[in-house]
Structure 1
Amino acid sequence: MQIESFNEALSRIGKAVLKNDDMIIENDDKAKPFVKWVGGKRSLIKELSSRTPQTYKSYYEPFVGGGALLFALAPASATISDINLDLVITYAVIKNKPQELIKLLAKHKVNHCEEYYYKIRKQFINDNDIEVAGRFIYLNKTCYNGLYRANNKGEFNVPMGKNPAIVDETTIIACSKLLQNVDIKHQDFSEISPNKGDFVYIDPPYHPIINASFTKYTKLDFTETDQIKLYQKCKELNDKGVYFMLSNSNIQFIKQMYKDFYIEIIEAPRTINCKANERKNAEEVLIRNYE
């Protein structure tokens, strides 16, 4: 019921009319991720976009995260979703109220200091979408190395970083323009319902190669059971005639599950690490149900 009521609220927000003086219509800069995200795909855009189906109807992304592939493809029709509520609210605010968000981020920029960072980090906001989005982006831009991490209570718990660029007005406006053709939902991956001929890009929390691997984007872990449920969802999509492409860890557990599909191993740079000189490439799999 909570998710349904929130999606109804998104629908109401979506009815707001964006006037010409509310947006910089003449801005032709391309949209790109407005937050840094663990496992983000900006460095793999060429590899991913070259492997999408030649033609498809609507685009779906149930683990949207930073949305790198969404922004690169700029589909005419799309549905994005995520289980991270603050992230979904932020997408909705960027879509419908970009200038109000920019003004709030400018205030965060003026006030930014160590004391202010931890004050905002401690805040819990659930009744003002613009403040939720502003807090989300501010913390992502100013936290240590752009790492989004939540504890068991769902609380953001990353220390402050250095050299933040808090307000990126050009990116927010470009993303807002692109998102006008995108349906935004707060839901679990199992709830997506694409039709035959649609294309789904699936980028879940990767199955850990070692137990210490980071997979915690919300207060809920993505477990081995969830990976199996995701595989079952992919089989369902395949049976419906839906194209899917999935990224995950290059480990036997994953490759064995998806052995009946096309599996390709690619190298992916890792951009989030406590030491920049220790960020190394990692092998991951790209799985498709089409050639």
Structure 2
Amino acid sequence: MPVNISQPVRPKPFLKWAGGKTQLLPEIQDILERKFSNDSAWTYIEPFVGGGAVLFHVLDRFPGIERAVINDINPELVAAYRAMKDNIVATTASLMSLEKAYNDCPTKEEKKSFYCNQRKEFNRLKLSPDSLVSSPHFSQVALFIFLNKTCFNGLYRVNRKGEFNVPFGDRKSLKICDRENLLRGSECLQKVTIELGDFEEMLKYAGKDVLYYIDPPYKPLNATSSFTAYTQEDFSDRDQFRVKAFCDRIHESGGYFILSNSDVVETDKHPSFFDELYASYTIKRVRAKRQINCKAEGRGSISELLITNIG
């Protein structure tokens, strides 16, 4: 149920997500404003919602949106969004309890031990995807958010068994329950339909006055930069071709899309991969800071792509 707060704030993601799009928001906003005004009536679709930076930005800046739909193939992520939307009180209470227990650990070793125990419990509580999403287990949702905030660089990675296996992130103190932001996010999500499944299922919404923001797992820049194991199966080049066909179907329906991906022009053995694949659309290169490299010197500014059929 929605909870109102007296002075609404600009909503921001409640998760730290590798490859988050906060840095690209000005560029995405510029593309959106070419087609929609703040009070335009349109539908927003996000097939790979991730941390939701673009989602919350769009819902806040374009109040005329008639409908919004988000989707992901990660059942724990989808359950977290549904818990945020439907039971924010229980979710925040669980998060506050975990935050206190973590911060009460006096040493790094005890914090790491607490993290590892919660990770073990999270994996133990894993339910089947359908039951988790249809009736969210709020203890598991709270653990999911807690682990996201305390793990290494906010990664979500699983092994072939589907077990979350990201190591401890060495956080000395932690605030995982930003209550004001959580309540504002819950308020925004009241107008959002939240789905679990493959991104191609979102074609059922295609049509005029419909815009898709498409943010698939990025094509790796090199062999060591692949963080695509958000589920048991990696996201391959074959899936990148599926995304291109998905964009073509949106375009043919009279709808619009904005796609983000890595710029492999300087690193890949096929440097023209995206330039050739999306030659019929507008491709713009933008700068963003790399955030997930394990070494600080590897987190410099890199080029990323924004591809769209909006002129």
CA shift, 1:173, in A, is 0.5
**Given that residues 89 and 132 in structure 1 are in contact (C-alpha distance below 8 angstroms), is that contact kept between their aligned partners in structure 2?**
no
- Separation of aligned partners in 2, 1:273 and 1:212: 9
Contact 2:49 2:72 in 1 (8 A): yes
Task: Give 1:199 deviation, angstroms.
Answer: 0.2
- What CA distance in whole angstroms lies between the structure 1 residues aligned with 2:305 and 2:114? 41
Runs of 4+ in structure 1 over 4 Å off:
none
State yes or no: 1:203 paired with 2:188: no
Structure 2 residue aligned with 1:60: 45
Offset, 1:277: 4.5
Whether contact under 8 Å (1:82, 1:189) holds in the other structure is: yes
Per-residue deviation, 1:218: 1.8
Match of 1:85 in 2: 75
Structure 2 counterpart of 1:249: 262
Q: What is residue 235 of structure 2 aligned with on the other side?
A: 222
* Equivalent-residue separation in structure 1 for 2:242 and 2:112 (angstroms): 42
TM-superposed CA distance for 1:211, in Å, is: 2.3
The DSSP-based 3-state class of the residue aligned with 1:50 is helix
- Pick from 11, 27, 41 the counterpart of residue 31 of structure 1: 11
Letter in structure 2 aligned against 1:188: D
Correspondence list, 1:113-132, <5 A: 113-123=111-121, 124-125=124-125, 126=127, 128-132=136-140
Q: Is the 8 A contact 2:43 2:68 kept in 1?
A: yes
AA aligned to 1:38 is A
Deviates more, 1:90-99 or 1:207-216: 207-216
Instruction: State the Cα deviation string for residues 232-278 of structure 1 (Å, max 9, x = none).
Output: 11111110011001011223112211111111111111222323443
Structure 1, 50-59 or 226-235: larger mean CA deviation: 50-59
Question: For 1:88, what is the secondary structure of its paired residue?
Answer: helix
Q: How big is the shift at 1:27?
A: 3.7
1:167 counterpart residue number: 177
- Where in structure 1 are there 5+ consecutive unaligned residues? 1-16
Q: What residue identity is the alignment partner of 1:257?
A: L
After TM superposition, the score normalised by the length of structure 2 is 0.83
2:250·2:256 contact (CA, 8 Å) conserved in 1?
yes
Pair 1:290 & 2:291 matched: no
Counterpart selection for 2:165 from 150, 157, 180: 157
Asked if 1:280 corresponds to 2:300, the answer is yes
Query: Partner of 2:105 in structure 1?
Result: none
Q: Displacement, 1:284?
A: 1.3
State the secondary structure of the residue aligned to 1:31: coil
1:189 alignment partner in structure 2: 199
Partners of 2:100 and 2:22 in 1: how far apart? 29
Match of 2:245 among 226, 232, 242: 232
**Contact between 1:33 and 1:71, CA under 8 Å: does it hold in 2?**
yes
Q: Note if 1:263 corresponds to 2:283.
A: yes
Distance 1:72 1:93 in 2: 20
Distance in 2, matches of 1:152 and 1:254, equals: 29
Find the aligned partners of 1:204 and 1:217 in 2 and give their Cα distance. 11
SS in structure 2 at match of 1:201:
strand
Q: Residue 44 of structure 1 aligns with which residue?
A: 24
C-alpha distance in 2, partners of 1:239/1:179?
29
- Tell me the CA shift for residue 54 of structure 1: 2.1
Residue number in structure 2 paired with 1:14: none
Q: Percent identity?
A: 39
Shift of 1:24: 4.0
Distance in 1 of aligned mates of 2:166 and 2:298: 20
Equivalents in 2 of 1:43, 1:236: separation in Å? 28
Q: Which amino acid aligns with 1:207?
A: K
| More deviation, 208-217/123-132 | 123-132
- The separation in 1 between residues aligned to 2:166 and 2:22, in whole angstroms, is 22
* Contact 1:42–1:69 (Cα < 8 Å) also in 2: yes
Match of 1:100 in 2: 90
The TM-score with structure 1 as length reference comes to: 0.88
How far apart, CA to CA, are the structure 1 residues paired with 2:298 and 2:248?
37
